[in-house]
Structure 1
Amino acid sequence: MNNIAEQLSLAYQNLNEKCQGLGLTQPVALIAVSKTKPAAQVLAAYQAGQRQFGENYPQELADKATELADCRDLHWHFIGPLQSNKTKLVAQHASWVHSIDRLKIAQRLNDQRPASLGRLKVLLQINISAELTKGGIAAKEMLALAAQVNNLPMLQLKGLMAIPAPGESEQAFAAMQQLSAQLQQHYPDATELSMGMSDDWPLALTYGATMIRLGTAIFGARQ
């Protein structure tokens, strides 16, 4: 098994060097995507200093959050597709949801969010490559959904997320940068742009990504 602490250190070194090379002054969040990896590996990354973790499956997120409940400053980002019958698990355990693409899901998360946890930070997922097999809304639907989500008292609209089709990263990232600017004209606090994974994150940074999602680079290949 790869030494997670070493891989994490290397990932941050690479991220910092790229940010310096681009002259970026705002911090970029590295989300360690731990889906299919055991809680022990999440704990190893946590002990090495990592605090932001991404999960794709509600039950897996809930199980790991429960097992690692003593890690008080560990923040879970739900980044996968979310069905209405699984929203409660996410509302109770996540700090962020990157994949909002329907008002129904947003409403359920709002209604099921424990008041003691404060507002759930959410991103709208844009299906930027118009793929039939991917979640997300069309770009033209962004402002309408944003207005609906912004009215939900237990949610906090923080920005956008996208997963480009293979081979279309640069075109997609450029389009997302423009959409982010458009969204911020209406919602100045919606500054987050979650895009870029282990194979294309440097390119995402050049187009304004504020969150990158790295799994393989930290935990190795998925089982």
Structure 2
Amino acid sequence: MQTIAERLNSALKGIDQAATSAHRPPNSVKLLAVSKTKPVSDIMEAYEAGQRMFGENYVQEGVEKVQELSHLDDLEWHMIGPIQSNKTKIVAEHFDWVQSVDREKIARRLNEQRPDSLPPLNVCIQVNIDDEESKSGISPGELSSLIEFIESQERLTLRGLMAIPKANPSEEQQHKSLAKLKELFDHYHTSLSNFDTLSVGMSSDMTEAIQHGSTMVRVGTAIFGKRN
């Protein structure tokens, strides 16, 4: 049975290998450890092995972990799950990043509720790249107006795009989706100053995502084991 530290090391090696084979520098892809449903003790194991960025899907669970580990001032917390408007306040007060912004109402509330004592909240826009009804995210066609709105908000910093492509796609379908996402990212990356993050790729499709320009992969199962 591998330890969390060993699995974390394997994930980092896999990222480096995928980046190298895509002719990209090894440090061009960040690892977000997805710790949803996992206990704080697991997060501490990963922390002690050097991991600093953690992603949570569920607001209440995530906030409890942020509070419990608030003595560690070098942790970076990412909300990566859907947010209801009645939860924006605690998200704005506790997280460093929100990767799942997909409508103006949520962006407005996060901006209004971000405490002045904290730096602006880093946000990514979630794109529903495969137009799946079961998934959150904005359609590519609606992207420009939401970008314009977020750019006008003083307490938000737009960092890039996030996507969850279709599970178990054909090779052709996967390539098409990831290439479309990269094209969208590149278009705005050249014109917006802080737009540097393409968050796509998980345990199962990390290598393909890195080949298509991902700058941040979100890995849970391969580090922490199967979810409870």
Matched, 1:187 2:187: no
Matched AA of 1:160: L
Q: Equivalents in 2 of 1:137, 1:79: separation in Å? A: 15
Instruction: State the partner residue of 1:81.
Output: 82
Is contact 2:18-2:211 (8 Å) kept?
no
Pairing 1:118-137 to 2, within 5 Å after superposition: 118-137=119-138
1:203 aligns with 2:200: no
Equivalent runs, 1:61-210 vs 2, <5 Å? 61-166=62-167, 167=169, 168-210=173-215
Q: 1:218 matched to which residue of 2?
A: 223
Deviation at 1:2, TM superposition (A): 4.3
| Runs (5+) with no aligned partner, structure 2 | none
Partner of 2:57: 56
Hey, which bits of structure 1, 4+ residues long, moved more than 4 A?
A: none
Contact 1:2/1:220 (8 A) holds in 2 = no
Q: CA RMSD in A?
A: 1.2
CA distance in 2, matches of 1:152, 1:193: 21
Q: Residues of 2 paired with 1:82 and 1:70: CA distance?
A: 26
- Shift of the 20–185 alpha-carbon distance from structure 1 to 2, 3 Å rule, reads closer
Deviations 1:108-160 (A, max 9, x none): 11111112220110001110010111111110111110000010000000110
Asked if structure 2 preserves the Cα contact closer than 8 Å seen for 1:28 and 1:209, the reply is: yes
Question: TM-score normalized by structure 2?
Answer: 0.95
Letter in 1 for 2:48: Q
**How high is the sequence identity, in percent, across the aligned residues?**
46
Paired residues, what number? Answer: 223
For structure 1, list consecutive stretches of 5 or more residues without a partner in the other structure.
none
Counterpart amino acid of residue 215 in structure 2: T
